[in-house]
């Protein structure tokens, strides 16, 4: 390849084509431009080349714009997705351990306060065995042993009660069962909406017929399902009733026993049950359907046994000769439970020795009233520690 340089107006121009090709190219241009048809073809060729080059250049410039458009579209899509995604709310930070009440911690035992307050339910009746209401705090004197105590709490309000019925379903109850069932229903109908009650039936062993409920209908529906038969495990049934009362929700608790005789099939002894009854803060009432001519030793000792069990708790035993009177007596007991006085005191001599403390309630009646009778529990066991 020959390289030549010519001076032209102070500038340099380089010839990069061989001399032979350069002459041929000049000859071709001269012929092409000299012919009109060839000149038109040449111009079309230049125009086509220009359009082609322009299209390639525009396409190369559109690629970044397309990519940018794709980026914007993707960003909009991401934004749309984020609108439907709710961020998770972070939980409130836990307060420092020293700011949490210790009583609210799961593994912290709540503090118990023993105020040593002894509560004594009291029933007052007149010579006609009618309830006496309307007495005041000054009409009562309370003794523990020989020491007079100061009555610090006095009330006569109808407080909610947890009640339990212990119902004799032994074979000897066959001719009294219908009236006895009516008595149970009437007893529960004296209950208030805040009361709760359960029922235990027994013959040769006690069974829980209905656990704590506020529906008389539930018990009434189940009573006909049990038929009287077998022997009498009365003491075992009393033990079950006392044990069931540990799940009671009310502070005031009472049991009603309906039976026609003594015990002849219990594992627990009479002395064991009397000891358990003394420890339990439960009043016990009984309705005795005793035969006028008892045939066995158990039947002869039955009335005395029931009286000793009920009296120590502040309750009492009602003897019924005619089964037709059962419903009225049961209603009377229900009303009596809701018209009691409650005396409270703190012992003047505190001794945590676990021993039995005798209680005596004396009445100072208003002038003009006939002799009145007081029913109250005879004592309690002092705390052991």
pLDDT for 153-177, tens place per residue?
999 988 999 999 999 999 989 989 9
Q: What is the domain extent for residue 32? A: 17-73
**Residue 321 shares a structural domain with residue 367:** no
**pLDDT digits 0-9 by tens, 246-257:** 999 999 999 999
**Residue 7 falls inside a structural domain:** no
Q: Residue 80: what pLDDT?
A: 43
Q: Residue 110: what pLDDT?
A: 37
**Residue 93 falls inside a structural domain:** no
Neighbours of 26 (CB within 10 A): 10
Domain count of the fold of the chain: 3
What the block records as the tokens of 38 is 């060839």
CA distances to 43, 78, 185 from 213, rounded to whole Å, are: 111, 60, 14
**Residue 175 shares a structural domain with residue 270:** yes
**pLDDT digits 0-9 by tens, 327-360:** 999 999 999 999 999 999 999 988 888 899 999 9
Provide the mean pLDDT of the chain. 80
Higher pLDDT, 217 or 105: 217
Domain boundary among 5, 40, 73: 73
**Residue 167 shares a structural domain with residue 308:** yes
Q: What is the 3-state secondary structure (H, E, C) of 77-122?
A: HHHHHHHCCCCCCCCCCCCCHHHCCHHHCCCCCCCCCCCCCEEEEE
CATH of the domain at 240: 3.40.50.410
**Residue 52 shares a structural domain with residue 22:** yes
Asked if 155 contacts 342 with a C-beta cutoff of 8 angstroms, the reply is yes
Q: pLDDT-derived band of residue 262, with 50, 70 and 90 as boundaries?
A: confident
**Residue 292 shares a structural domain with residue 232:** yes
**Residue 225 shares a structural domain with residue 144:** no
pLDDT mean over 210-231 = 93
**Residue 164 falls inside a structural domain:** yes
pLDDT over threshold 50, residue 269: yes
> Residues near 294 by Cβ (< 8 Å), separated by ≥ 6?
261, 300, 302
**Residue 203 shares a structural domain with residue 309:** yes
**Residue 218 falls inside a structural domain:** yes
What the block records as the tokens of 267 is 């594992």
How far, in Å, CA of 138 to CA of 147, rounded? Answer: 17
Put simply, whether the predicted model's pTM sits higher than 0.75 gets the answer: no
**Residue 319 shares a structural domain with residue 298:** yes
pLDDT mean over 317-333 = 94
**Residue 287 shares a structural domain with residue 268:** yes
Q: Which of 84-93, 95-104, 164-173 has the lowest mean pLDDT?
A: 95-104
Greatest mean pLDDT among 9-13, 32-36, 64-68, 306-310: 306-310
**Residue 329 shares a structural domain with residue 369:** no
**Residue 347 shares a structural domain with residue 292:** no
Q: pLDDT-derived band of residue 21, with 50, 70 and 90 as boundaries?
A: low
**Residue 219 shares a structural domain with residue 256:** yes
């Amino acid at each position: 390849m020959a390289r030549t340089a010519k001076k032209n107006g102070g500038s340099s121009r380089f010839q990069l084509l061989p001399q032979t090709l350069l002459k041929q190219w000049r000859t071709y241009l001269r012929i092409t431009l000299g012919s009109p048809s060839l000149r038109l073809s040449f111009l079309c060729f230049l125009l086509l080349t220009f359009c082609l080059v322009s299209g390639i250049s525009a396409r190369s410039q559109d690629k970044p714009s397309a990519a940018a458009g794709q980026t914007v579209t993707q960003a909009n899509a991401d934004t749309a997705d984020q609108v439907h995604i709710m961020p998770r709310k972070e939980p409130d930070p836990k307060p420092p351990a020293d700011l949490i009440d210790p009583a609210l911690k799961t593994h912290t035992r709540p503090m118990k306060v023993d105020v040593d307050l002894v509560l004594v339910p009291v029933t007052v009746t007149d010579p006609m065995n009618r309830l006496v209401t309307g007495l005041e705090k000054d009409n009562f004197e309370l003794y523990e042993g020989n020491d007079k105590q100061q009555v610090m709490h006095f009330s006569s309000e109808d407080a909610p009660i947890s009640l339990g019925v212990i119902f004799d379903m032994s074979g000897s109850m066959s001719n009294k069962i219908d009236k006895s069932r009516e008595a149970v229903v009437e007893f529960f109908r004296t209950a208030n909406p805040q009361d709760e009650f359960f029922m235990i039936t027994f013959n040769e062993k006690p069974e829980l017929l209905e656990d704590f409920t506020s529906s008389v209908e539930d018990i009434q529906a189940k009573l006909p399902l049990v038929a009287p038969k077998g022997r009498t495990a009365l003491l075992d049934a009393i033990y079950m009733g006392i044990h069931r009362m540990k799940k009671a929700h009310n502070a005031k608790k009472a049991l009603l026993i309906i039976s026609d005789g003594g015990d002849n099939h219990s594992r627990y002894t009479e002395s064991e049950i009397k000891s358990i009854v003394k420890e339990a803060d439960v009043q016990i009432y009984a309705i005795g359907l005793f035969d006028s001519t008892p045939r066995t030793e158990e039947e002869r000792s039955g009335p005395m046994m029931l009286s000793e069990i009920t009296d120590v708790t502040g309750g009492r035993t009602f003897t019924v000769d005619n089964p037709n009177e059962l419903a009225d007596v049961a209603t009377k007991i229900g009303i009596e439970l809701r018209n009691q006085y409650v005396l409270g005191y703190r012992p003047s001599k505190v001794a945590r020795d676990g021993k039995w403390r005798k209680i005596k309630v004396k009445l100072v009646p208003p002038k003009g009233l006939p002799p009145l009778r007081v029913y109250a529990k005879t004592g309690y066991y002092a705390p052991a520690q």
